[in-house]
A = this chain, B = another copy of it.
Amino acid sequence: MPAVPVALPHHRYDVVIEPGVLDELGARTRAVAPAPMALLVFDRALESTQLPRARASLEAAGYETVSVPFPGGEANKTLATVQGLYEVLLERRFERRAPVVALGGGVLGDTVGFAAATYLRGVPFVQCPTTLLAMVDSSVGGKVGVNVPQGKNLVGAFHQPVAVLADPLVLKSLPPRELRCGLAECIKHAVIRAPDLFDWTRSHLPELLALDPESLAELVARNVAIKAAVVIEDEKESGVRAHLNLGHTFGHAIEATVGYGRILHGEAVGLGLLAAATLSAELRVGARELRPRIEEVVGAAGLPRRAELPDDARLFEAMALDKKVAAGKIRFVLPERIGSVVIRDGVAPEAVRAAWGSIRS
């Protein structure tokens, strides 16, 4: 499978999607970030499975490798965790050229990436995503950051990786709930700009949910290609990259109010897609049939279609804290049809209430 290049004006890197590519971590890192040492931050759940492969590969390539476990979970995506990584980097005297490698899901990658973005004003960062969600979304594009009590990802940076290695074999042991979360972002990509991928995903859900390696590899490659294209068009989210926030204005508010531990990001995004489709119909942006079409796939992917939500006032408050607020107005990304979205602000609160109501159980 060919690498997907992310060619930005100031920096170019490859997303390599290949069975077994994790064993090439050392050689591929050395090609872009030669240095005496490497920091390898890994999800503790991978300690006996993927960590030995990654560490052996780095050491074989000549890196003195410092491995640091990350406990996992949104609750650890904090400045305190980042400060802990600074401590390790400082204590071991990591220099500016030494790479920092993230081996884990999106929460780990975002947090480690923020440390890499800010230690010595930025050091080389390698992403080894181990969840479907991280492979198709967070590991590509350079958005890194942490949560604060007021909301998700409110502190962060843009820091492009020097390489992304997505090994589909790693997904064989992915828990079903995590797989479904990744599918939510894939459905999102398809709704934004790929009707063919929407149909392909719907028809391949049985194989995907059965963790068929070839289907997963194709899914990752097609989604990375979409994500990369959007990032190349608009790295810093001044335009089209905002489309990737489809479902996220609702989704972030759901996570913030329901609680980060109780609902996963992908589950909230899946609900957010449904709310956005309903809002689209309320505003006569898209047809009424959009919602059932998206809901069919979201449901078939095993994602929730309803949730116990707090009252509208709390949801509006959470939305108002989101990063995407401009001039005091909440901006919504809305599907026009499968494969096309538009951005709207100044939306009537009644329409948003109807959208919330449509996913409240």
Contacts and interface: CB of A to CB of B under 8 A. Distances in A.
A284 interface: no
Interface string A95-113: 1110000000000000000
A341 B57 CA distance: 40
A145 interface: yes
Nearest to A144: B121
Nearest to A143: B121
B155 A86 contact: yes
Contacts of A145: 118, 121
Contacts of A119: 154-155
Contacts of A62: none
Given A9-B9, A117-B157, 9 more contacts: A10-B10, A93-B320, A95-B323, A97-B327, A118-B118, A118-B155, A118-B157, A121-B145, A121-B156
Copies of the protein in its oligomer: 2
Nearest to A329: B95
A327 B153 CA distance: 34
A44 B150 CA distance: 28
A264 to B, nearest CB: 22
Interface of A: 9-10, 35-36, 79, 83, 86, 90, 93, 95-97, 114, 117-122, 143, 145, 148, 150-151, 153-158, 236, 320-321, 323-328
B90 A325 contact: no
Nearest to A146: B118
Contacts of A121: 143, 145, 153, 156-158, 323
A96 B242 CA distance: 13
Contacts of A148: 86, 90
Contacts of A95: 323, 325-328
Contacts of A79: 79, 83
A35 B97 contact: no
Contacts of A35: 327
